[in-house]
Amino acid sequence: MLFVAEYELVDRTPPTLGPITVTSNTASAVIAWTTGEPASARVEYGLTLAYGSTNSSALLRTSHSFNLTGLTPATQYHFRVRVTDTAGNETASSDRTF
């Protein structure tokens, strides 16, 4: 009797994050970055580490950009980015400020 083992290839590698850039002005900011593979993305942001606001996109891309509007001028905001690939692997940046 011959047994043939079947192996399923499973992606367990989270997406890599490229450099994160922030361009801000009086009441808005653009946060942009790249990923090493197509991924959905979101930016969590707010006045504290609890964030409180989120912008997201389910589109699978390697180049990501979010325009945050309605911000309070001359105020420090905390943010982090999170990306998820098609296999459900997620990467999150550390907390950053602008």
List the beta bridge partners of residue 84. Answer: 40, 90
Question: What's the pLDDT tens digit per position in 43-97?
Answer: 999 999 999 999 999 999 999 999 999 999 999 999 999 999 999 999 999 999 9
Say if CB 74 and CB 53 are below 8 A apart: no
Distance CA 78, CA 70 (A): 15
Distance CA 72, CA 53 (A): 14
| pLDDT for the residue 4 | 56
Cβ-proximal residues to 36 (8 Å cutoff; 6+ apart), any chain? 15, 16, 18, 62
Question: What's the pLDDT tens digit per position in 5-52?
Answer: 666 678 899 999 999 999 999 899 999 999 999 999 999 999 999 999
| pLDDT for the residue 10 | 81
Has residue 3 got a pLDDT over 70?
no
Cα distances (angstroms) measured from residue 45 to each of 30, 48, 85, 96: 12, 8, 21, 9
pTM: 0.86
